[in-house]
Structure 1
Amino acid sequence: MGKLFGTDGIRGVANEVLTPELVYGIARCAGYYFTKHETNPKILIGKDTRISGDMIEAALSLGFTSVGVEVIKLGVVTTPAVAYLTKNTEAVAGVMISASHNPMEDNGIKFFSNEGFKLQDSVEDEIEELYFIKKELPYPTGEKVGIVKEDKSLQNMYLEYLKTTISNKFNGIKVGLDCANGSAYDLAPKLFEELGAQVHTIFNTPDGTNINKNCGSTHPEELAKYVVEQGLDLGFAFDGDADRLIAIDKTGAEIDGDFILAICGKHLKEQGKLPGGVVVSTVMANLGFDLACQREGLEPIKTKVGDRYVLEEMLKGGYTLGGEQSGHIIFLEHGTTGDGILTAVQLLDTLISLGQDLSDAKTILEKLPQVLINVKVNDKEKYLTSTKISSKVEEVEGKLGSTGRVLVRPSGTENLIRVMIEGKNPQEIKELAEEIASVIKTELA
């Protein structure tokens, strides 16, 4: 049987891999799965700002309505907004159309259950089975055919909820926002303005083709310059669907997920709101994060890379805070998935409560030098069977000894092999990472 779902939904180049025909078929199968035991079922659809979003939204709507589902279009919203609204309305499921931080030509679809969580593997498997075995699904007629409605007002319900998660107003604080020309372009400035901040926004003019283009959480350099030039207190950079956050302090320094987890984790622990003192992170977390946790009495638990694995560990252990260095942060008390805007308001609320600015708070963590190289390959799975690559990795690990570490892994969403090395000597780890990358290129490119 074929495979549709990856580590974060279904992704591909829009109209090449992710065609209207494919999306229509998936929507029929998913719609049937979610609604076979429901009467008057509703599914929410949100999208980011990619030019292909309208096409995929139309194909999803066609597939869902053809099996009797009522579709409610939310318009341009963030991924976590879809998750929240799916959980807190009468919807049986929600779908977000986005390829997150990927280039604009890519797109994707992420499904959420009526509890607001991304689908379990077993559910994805059942939808795939329906799709590939070509089971004859019903075609209801007459009044049983689904309809399409649009309700952009639900976006305000999400924003109003975010306000209830914090205890301080942001009056007078000068905040820079990089909206990545994506889903946050309208919602984030509106929220921060309503909370009293002086908002300065860049990359908030989406045209369908400029999402993530040299901006956002994967390219926060422009925001860093902007914060310093404008004399702002701090800045927040989101990705295309705003489920990630990278912060910038007043000096222009980048504050990634490791810092955010440490700062917020310590504060939550002091408030008695961090069960077991546990912060869930991934194997990509910097060694400096572990040292900070040890110093502050926090207990780091590590998972595989991917926010779905972080969430699984949090649910299993009853933990409330977890995330990734890349900026996927989950505050499980407030949300069911990584949420860049929620993380931004939680971080700023924490800083206000502590009476600190971000440049002071970041001293909780001192990072070891780290190098990350992304190598484009044709088949990312082949690295598992390459003895030349594994031998090179072992050789580099031998050179580093106990003073560093090596992590080589395939990307969950792109045809890339990621090579990460940490150590004491920046020049040495750069050279060693390039050596491994060179072998990967030779073997797999």
Structure 2
Amino acid sequence: MPITLPQNLMVSVSGVRGRVGNPLTPELMAQIAAAFGTFMITEGAGGPIYVGRDSRVSGPMFSRAVISGLQSVGARVVDLGMVPTPTLMLAVKQAEASGGIVITASHNPADWNALKLVTAEGVFLAKEQSEHFHQFLNNEDLQRVSWDLIEPVIEDREACQRHLSGILALPEVDVEAIKRRGIRVALDCVNGVGGPAMAELLSELGCTVEAIGMNPDGRFPRDPEPTAANLTGLCTLVRDTGSEVGFAVDPDADRLSLVDETGRALGEDLTLALASSVVLVRNPGPVVTNLSTSQVLDDVADSFSVPLTRAPVGEINVAQQMMIEEAVVGGEGNGGVILPALHHTRDAPLAAALILQALIDVGGPLSFAAARWPSYAIVKEKIGFPREALPQAYEILESDLDGATVDHADGLRLSWRDRSTWLHLRPSGTEPVVRLIAEAPDESRAKALIDHVLGLLEGAG
């Protein structure tokens, strides 16, 4: 029979997400994994499917369920164990596997988990692939194999080391120069999967590491999203230890947020801007980001006279556009840096190496590197709002906020380049909320725009 997905399950292009127990159960995860395995086999993919997870308490349970589901339809499975999301994505690409499944809810709280589906190219499913898979999921009976066709599971515990070796081999990262600098780094991995990988990378780069949140037990000591408001502990650690830079990663280590040597949280958008400047000074070329990323990236691209293209929010949307544009660097303003020279995936360890290289390039502290670029204020809100009322809300905003450049590629984006101001309203793909983001030269103007829009939305909802 077709699989019935619970109504409270969040279904996106890349997979499914929800709270553990309801709607996410081992039975449901096994069913979806079996469907994905059958889908890949039907598509003619002959390689194994890689499985990995983050550090969440529910991770081992769901990993066993996913692997069992894949085995039940005759898929070959390579189990990477607990690894960063970019580690699995790179492993799939390097091994020419059929695809992969990542068990992680990224920045969501500990009572959430998710299943993300990966293609043979080491990127998440695109819209067309996802639609095909969901059609298959809803309409096809799953053919289970007999006992003698069940494939044994192969364990691979070297994927993370291969990932880090790939980063250290990049021409953009001068390992010896970073080692000579002997940088003291404060690190907060929120007890996620990134702790061991980040510690190993920084050790290989000769850094002295002062760390919190390094026990990968999935019991997050704070809100796991690495936004500035959640990094007070890291800011204090930077000041108390005299660190030159503070790094915070999310639970699956695909996003990196920065704190400068004064203990000031710089926000996630500057991660991509600084990392991009390191790449562009060595290899000028197109840049791609999403519609919610700070305009500081426009300033970086302009300074190197290279084009910048914006895609809808979502890693796969940015990755696909990067392939089209043959971009040399890109990512998202949430701290996700993508370097095609390695792979088309957001990667926090990669971002950390590029930020350390930025310190070498400028010959000064992180605040000095940040001061090279204009400063903007981003204000973000998320509100409960009926999705069916969004079209009406978009019309109201367009009518009220005139003189803007309008973009409907992903919700509604209004921009006033002459005022260095923009606004983006869109439904979240990871939470049952609507996200509202505004950027302006100072916080008061950005907040005033947000407050004005919230007032307009009250009448629309």
- TM-score, length of structure 2 as denominator length: 0.86
SS for the counterpart of 2:288 is strand
Matches of residues 320-335 of structure 1 in structure 2 within 5 Å? 320-335=328-343
1:415 correspondence with 2:455: no
Structure 1: stretches of 5+ with no match in the other structure: none
* AA in 2 matched with 1:71: V
Matches of residues 54-69 of structure 1 in structure 2 within 5 Å? 54-69=60-75
Distance change >3 Å, CA 296–CA 41, structure 1 → 2: closer
Distance 2:224 2:30 in 1: 32
- Mean CA deviation greater in 80-89 or 354-363: 354-363
Distance 1:371 1:46 in 2: 34
Partner deviation per Cα, 1:172-228 (whole Å, 9 max, x = no partner): 2101111121110211112211321111111112433327x3355232332122112
Q: How far 1:237 moved relative to its partner?
A: 0.8
1:192 correspondence with 2:202: yes
Q: Provide the residue aligned with 1:249 in structure 2.
A: 260
- Mean CA deviation greater in 345-354 or 222-231: 345-354
Alignment counterpart, residue 159 of structure 2, candidates 154, 157, 167:
154
1:178 correspondence with 2:188: yes
Alignment counterpart, residue 233 of structure 1, candidates 225, 235, 244:
244
- Mean CA deviation greater in 423-432 or 314-323: 423-432
Structure 2: stretches of 5+ with no match in the other structure: 405-414
Distance 1:339 1:206 in 2: 18
Q: How far 1:251 moved relative to its partner?
A: 1.6
* AA in 2 matched with 1:217: P
Partner deviation per Cα, 1:128-161 (whole Å, 9 max, x = no partner): 122211x233222243112234332333222222
Conserved 8 A contact 1:5-1:124: no
Q: Provide the residue aligned with 1:209 in structure 2.
A: 219
Q: Provide the residue aligned with 2:289 in structure 1.
A: 281
SS for the counterpart of 1:382 is helix
Distance 1:220 1:186 in 2: 20
SS for the counterpart of 1:344 is helix
Distance 2:232 2:315 in 1: 24
Partner deviation per Cα, 1:30-86 (whole Å, 9 max, x = no partner): 101222476974221111111111221122111100011232221211100000111
Alignment counterpart, residue 443 of structure 2, candidates 401, 413, 426:
426
Distance 1:357 1:424 in 2: 23
SS for the counterpart of 1:386 is helix
Partner deviation per Cα, 1:273-303 (whole Å, 9 max, x = no partner): 232xx22122223334434433443432222
Distance 2:303 2:185 in 1: 30
Matches of residues 31-430 of structure 1 in structure 2 within 5 Å? 31-36=37-42, 41-89=47-95, 91-133=97-139, 135-165=140-170, 166-169=173-176, 170-171=178-179, 172-210=182-220, 213-215=222-224, 217-218=226-227, 219-271=230-282, 273-275=283-285, 278-377=286-385, 379=386, 381-387=387-393, 390-392=395-397, 394-396=399-401, 403=419, 404-424=421-441, 426-430=443-447
- TM-score, length of structure 1 as denominator length: 0.89
Distance 1:424 1:265 in 2: 21
Distance 1:269 1:386 in 2: 41
- Mean CA deviation greater in 233-242 or 112-121: 112-121
Conserved 8 A contact 2:279-2:328: no
Q: Provide the residue aligned with 2:407 in structure 1.
A: none
Q: How far 1:246 moved relative to its partner?
A: 1.0
Number of residue-to-residue matches in the alignment = 436
* AA in 2 matched with 1:181: N
SS for the counterpart of 2:55 is coil
* AA in 1 matched with 2:328: T
Distance 2:25 2:334 in 1: 29
Conserved 8 A contact 1:307-1:323: yes
Distance 1:390 1:39 in 2: 45
SS for the counterpart of 1:139 is coil
Conserved 8 A contact 2:83-2:193: yes
Distance change >3 Å, CA 130–CA 386, structure 1 → 2: same
Q: How far 1:341 moved relative to its partner?
A: 0.7
Distance 1:428 1:264 in 2: 27
* AA in 1 matched with 2:432: N
Alignment counterpart, residue 36 of structure 2, candidates 30, 33, 53:
30
SS for the counterpart of 1:200 is strand
| Identity across the alignment (%) | 28
Distance 1:107 1:215 in 2: 13
Partner deviation per Cα, 1:1-46 (whole Å, 9 max, x = no partner): 9887414422111221222222222111110122247697422111
Distance change >3 Å, CA 289–CA 268, structure 1 → 2: closer
SS for the counterpart of 2:34 is helix
Distance 2:287 2:232 in 1: 28
SS for the counterpart of 1:186 is helix
